[in-house]
Amino acid sequence: MAVPAPVTAGAPDAASEAVVDVRDVHYSIGGREIFAGLSLQARRGRITAVMGPSGTGKTTLLRLITAQIRPERGTVRVFGEDLAALNSRAIYQLRQRMGMLFQNGALLTDLSVFENVAFPVREHTDLTEGLIRKLVLVKLQAVGLRGAAALLPAELSGGMARRVALARAIVMDPELLIYDEPFVGLDPISLGFILRLIKQMNAALGITSIVVSHDVQELATIADDSYLLSEGHIAASGTPAQLRDSGAPAVRQFMTGSAEGPVGFHYPAPDYLSQLLKEDDA
């Protein structure tokens, strides 16, 4: 399908306000093009939503931002640094300024809630046990789970596990907080807690947040800026309201969740009848 013209949110801020700046990025996996000139920004102190149907490269984008992979062309700058120009040690130091909430929480199953949250502090600092205890309890209090400090991950509900993972993500006071599909599998009450926490954390800590998800209605309640990925490009960008009011068919289909539109259900494949009637090569 043709990529519609982006919906803009007005004049862009100065480059100095971009904590993450992705410029004309091209990237392929196994010969399949994922990004073909992708450009977007996450601005300081704001919540940036990245949306798109499954398979559009949302998680791949996060891997680029965290320097797990490098683009074939284009640049990815984080905190003003071109990631392609950094060595392993510099990347490691840069990642310490980020927090990551993984899609499945990724808690360490053999460690208690307290020890899961304390883990990054023990790895990256020389703080005393007394200070670590106070720091972890403060973060658990922030997500409402100080009373669950002694529990193991297997004893937590899905929503509780996600909140513990969030406490771990913020325990080092990151400047950039990244959420990979934070709403998957949550009941309405847990979802409400997570939405409120994302908004409160961003405001209270003065951080920059990137939220990757396909949950349109939820993101609309917290996002300052939104991007919709489609066919390796940004199909639309702007406030959630601007995307919702877009007249572009692909944007309207995604925002309304319609089965009818240019975004198809089937992965590209040979003609169905011909493939069924074709004799086995063996």
80-130 pLDDT tens trace: 999 999 999 999 889 989 988 887 768 888 999 999 999 999 988 889 999
Which of 152, 173, 194 is the C-terminal boundary of a domain? 173
**Cβ density class 222-249: b for 16+ within 10 Å, e for less:** bbbbbbbbbbbbbbbbbbbebbbebebb
Instruction: Say whether both 142 and 24 belong to one domain.
Output: no
Instruction: Say whether both 77 and 37 belong to one domain.
Output: yes
- Residue-wise pLDDT for 118-173, tens only, equals 999 998 888 999 999 999 999 999 888 999 999 999 999 888 888 899 899 889 98
Q: For residue 138, what are the domain limits?
A: 99-173
CA distance 83 to 187: 37
At 1 the pLDDT is 41
| 196 domain-assigned | no
Copy the structure tokens of residue 59.
Answer: 């998680």
Copy the structure tokens of residue 191.
Answer: 């979802």
| 2 domain-assigned | no
At 255 the pLDDT is 61
Find the mean pLDDT for residues 64-75. 92
Instruction: Say whether both 80 and 104 belong to one domain.
Output: no
Question: Exposed, middle or buried by CB within 10 Å (0-12, 13-18, 19+), for 71?
Answer: buried
**Max alpha carbon distance in the chain (Å)?**
71
Instruction: Say whether both 153 and 211 belong to one domain.
Output: no
Whole-structure pTM value: 0.79
CA distance 171 to 232: 34
Q: What is the CATH number of the domain that holds 214?
A: 3.40.50.300
- DSSP letter string over 56-76? SSHHHHHHHHTTSS--SEEEE
Q: Is 52 helix (H, G, I), strand (E, B) or coil?
A: coil
Strands 73-78 and 81-82: antiparallel
| 70 domain-assigned | yes
- Residue scoring higher pLDDT (69 or 232): 69
Instruction: Count structural domains, the chain.
Output: 2
